[in-house]
Amino acid sequence: MIVCHCKGATDRDIRRAADGGGEALSAVGRTCGAGVSCGSCLETIREVLREHARGSETGRTPGKRPAA
């Protein structure tokens, strides 16, 4: 899903940025450009980061089923 329309960044881009050590909004902005233009996507970025962090704690990616 496109999260940042200004930069065309997706939720996958944001999760990749988080995997690369970009847990903070500023790091995500530096990595994929999301959230640095108009700012209308900031809350969605925060939500993606929270979901990603929860998935990292449990060892699974949100929205994906565990391997059978």
Q: How does pLDDT run along the chain (68 residues), one tens digit per residue?
A: 999 999 999 999 999 999 887 678 988 999 999 999 999 999 999 999 999 988 877 665 545 544 44
pLDDT of residue 40: 97
Residue span of the structural domain in which 37 resides: 2-58
For residue 24, what pLDDT is reported? Answer: 85
Question: How many domains does the chain fold into?
Answer: 1
Q: What is the pLDDT of residue 5?
A: 97
**Residue 66 in domain:** no
CATH number for the domain that contains residue 53: 1.10.10.1100
| Inter-residue contact 18 to 28 (CB < 8 Å) | yes
Residue 33 · residue 7 · CB < 8 Å? yes
- Cα–Cα distance measured from residue 65 to residue 32, given in angstroms and rounded to the nearest whole number: 26
51 occurs within a structural domain: yes
pLDDT of amino acid 68: 45
Q: Is residue 68 part of a domain?
A: no
**CB neighbours of residue 66 within 10 Å:** 8
Q: Positive or negative, the Cα torsion across 4, 46, 26, 12?
A: negative
